[in-house]
Amino acid sequence: MNQRHTYEYDVDSRSATAPANVVRMVGARKRVLEVGCGPGSITKILVTENQCTVTGLERDGDAIKKALPFCERLFQADLNTEDWPTLLDGEEPFDVVVAADVLEHLYDPWTTLKRMVPLTGNDGYLVISLPHAGHAAVIACLINGNFEYRDWGLLDRTHIRFFCLKNIEDLFAQADLKILEVAYVIKQPEETEFAAQWLELPSATQQCLRLSPHATTYQVVVKAVPMDRPGAPLRLKADADATHKLQIIHPLFASSAKRLVGSYLSPQFKQTLRTSLGKLGIKI
């Protein structure tokens, strides 16, 4: 029996999922380098629906066997080594370089991203997706004191790096890249793999966490190009409108919410909550 790989999943290109947004941002009839292609879940759609040609890089031998039928070329590569780009010596620049939920698995995603840039052509671009560690469900895990690792999702046990929106902006800026397009994958906390932990929180605490303008941002998908290309960069942090809404809602809610939360929490727990919310730009 052909056993399903951990990262093997079906992709509905019409949906609002991260893989579907990756496929849309790549576009049709492109020459693609897919860095960390896994078992080919996205590769398959790029080839069969978008008529792209894909060169893949992947470390896992079992995943390579599954992705190979969809790749023009596929190289076994460890992205944590310095020399992986040499596998592509002699290759023409690519129209698009894709890394879909890959960088968070690496020791040095900052350097890896920099090494991807020269692999694009003059009109080429990068499409990158990353999980958002600032999701309210992750904060719920921290508040509950239970950082619940799993085989997939926001707290995949193989994740080494964690990114909030500012960290994603900084990641691209240090690679001399600017973001031209962004898609936010939205999931309510009770729709995530941490629904049980979310429901353990008092309702007042849940309401406080929802005040963050990106509390429900589960993944972020971006299209990026070198800084010297035309086009104004997009910012990922809360925009003026979201900040304005927060400023309106927060004063109305703060007094009663603080009293309710205070009735449930110990002084130590209150400080933990203040620290967690402070990282999201919310002061209580």
pLDDT tens string 156-213: 999 999 999 999 999 999 999 999 999 999 999 999 999 999 999 999 999 999 999 9
pLDDT at 276 over 70: no
**Helix/strand/coil for 95:** strand
pLDDT at 254 over 60: no
Average of pLDDT values for 5-30?
Answer: 92
**Helix/strand/coil for 185:** strand
Report all structural domains of the chain as residue ranges with CATH numbers, in order of start. 18-237 (3.40.50.150)
Structure tokens at 249: 């809602």
Average of pLDDT values for 114-123?
Answer: 96
- Residue 28 gets which letter from DSSP? S
**Helix/strand/coil for 106:** coil
Structure tokens at 255: 């007094």
Average of pLDDT values for 22-47?
Answer: 97
Q: Which residue has the higher pLDDT, 11 or 242?
A: 11
Return the pLDDT at 243: 37
Alpha carbon of 5 to those of 10, 148, 275: distances in Å? 12, 22, 38
Q: Which residue has the higher pLDDT, 196 or 241?
A: 196
Rounded to an integer, what is the distance from CA 137 to the centroid of its chain?
Answer: 15
Q: What type of residue sits at position 168? A: I
- Residue 156 gets which letter from DSSP? B
> What are 91-113's pLDDT values in tens digits?
999 999 999 999 999 999 999 99
pLDDT at 89 over 90: yes
Q: Which residue has the higher pLDDT, 82 or 255?
A: 82
- Measured between alpha carbons, how far is 21 from 180 in angstroms, rounded to an integer? 14
pLDDT at 8 over 70: yes
